[in-house]
Amino acid sequence: MHIPDNYLSPATCGTLVAAMAPVWTVSVLKVKAQVKKRHETLPMLGIAASLAFLIMMFNLPIPGGTTAHAVGGTLLAVLIGPWAACLALTVTLLLQALLFGDGGILAFGANAFNMAFIMPFVGYACYRIGHHYHHDKLGLAVGAYLGINLAALVAGIELGLQPLLAHTANGTPLYCPYGLNVAVPAMLLAHLLVAGWVEVLFSLFVFQFVQKVAPTNLYQTPVKTHQRPWVYLLAGLAVLSPLGLLASNTAWGEWSPQELKQQLVQQHLGTHVPQGMQHGFQFDALFSDYAIGGLPVSVGYVLSAATALIIFLLLIRGLQRGTDTTK
């Protein structure tokens, strides 16, 4: 679901950044107020961002030869609240784009709109309905499934609209070459059949874990956070992260220009990638595809996960010190 650069037109990217700007502003204000009431919010922000990062490293094989992954958007909203989840997921997506080349720089607003806005808020609304009727787990399951699939639907619409919004005089697409009739079913198929159910299972697993070992971490209960069980969980996921390499194919709509060209040739849709993709924005991430030069891919994967955890830890400690000095 990480849309790369040059799949969306600059106008689409700019529009979605503008759409996210008020969401980010309100999120910051809401989280500031939340931190004053519940000091455990700051460490939980780092834990939540780390959890989302690790979840998204576990790629899953999809029928048809592509891959997908869970995100944890609803789970994060339940654990720390939807506004804090929005910020945690935003930071995660930014780190993925800047350091690991997972998702585009220009497409950052689109990816944040889909995974940091739609997913946690839709999922949390479903969870609250379930909570109202004393069926927390059912609400979480429905929210996790609907949240990720609605985000996938919107991503498919964003991609599928590109041939209509940006094309040459003769109608040739400048960016994503697949229309709505292809992009929407492709995105939904992967998430309705596989990724959505994994999202549900993982969300329920962590929710059960929280209730057993750290019940005070739930968003509605403003009590001191027990962080040690989270350290064990995150460390375990980091060590297991190379399992995500078992699904080695590229997710639909995340191909490199070379891979896209092969797709188009195989499907008899042309022999050249769209002009906007050929001459678009190029960014070389330091650890592209979570690989570290000279090391086995699996080792690079684990080190990438560890690097992200350290960055999140340092970021949260810096925020905690800044908060303490302003008191």
Query: Which DSSP string do the residues of 5-55 spell out, in sequence order?
Result: TTSS-HHHHHHHHHHHHHHHHHHHHHHHHHHHH-TTHHHHHHHHHHHHHHH
pLDDT for residue 43: 84
Query: Can you give the pLDDT at residue 276?
Result: 92
The SS3 call for residue 294 is: coil
**Of 324, 326, 312, 322, nearest to 45 (Cα)?**
312
pLDDT in the model for residue 41: 81
Which residue would you say has higher pLDDT here, 256 or 228? Answer: 256
pLDDT at residue 317, rounded to an integer: 82
Most confidently modeled range among 37-51, 118-132, 286-300? 118-132
User: Who has greater pLDDT, 322 or 135?
Assistant: 135
Q: Which has more confidence, 316 or 3?
A: 3
The predicted pLDDT at position 223 comes to: 43
The percent of residues above 90 in pLDDT, for the chain, comes to: 72
Q: Does residue 210 contact residue 218 with C-beta atoms inside 8 Å?
A: yes
- Are the C-beta atoms of residues 67 and 253 closer than 8 Å to each other? no
CATH T-level topology, domain 10-325: Arp2/3 complex 21 kDa subunit ARPC3 (1.10.1760)
Q: State phi, psi for 17 to the nearest 5 degrees.
A: -65, -45
Q: How confident is the model at residue 15 (pLDDT cuts 50, 70, 90)?
A: very high
Per the rule left: phi > 0, alpha: psi between -120 and 50, beta: everything else, 101 is left
Question: Is the separation of the CB atoms in 138 and 130 below 8 Å?
Answer: yes
Tell me: pLDDT of 114 over 50: yes
- For the cut 60, the answer to whether the pLDDT of residue 292 exceeds it is yes
Q: Output 326 or 6, whichever has higher pLDDT.
A: 6
Q: Which residue has the higher pLDDT, 294 or 300?
A: 300
What per-residue confidence (pLDDT) applies to 225? 52
pLDDT at residue 222 in the model: 44
Considering only residues 245 and 147, tell me which one the structure prediction assigns the higher pLDDT: 147
Question: Mean pLDDT across the chain, nearest whole number?
Answer: 90
Domain locations in the chain as residue ranges: 10-325
Report whether pLDDT(117) > 50.
yes
Read off the pLDDT band of 219 (50, 70, 90).
low
User: Rounded to whole angstroms, what are the CA distances from 270 to 173, 254, 273, 274?
Assistant: 11, 18, 8, 10
Helix (H) or strand (E) holding 66: strand 66-68
Split at pLDDT 50, 70, 90, the class of 202 is: very high
pLDDT tens-digit series, residues 65-91: 889 999 999 999 999 999 999 999 999
What pLDDT is attached to residue 38?
79
CA distance 316 to 320: 6
Integer Cα distance of 234 and 245 in angstroms: 18
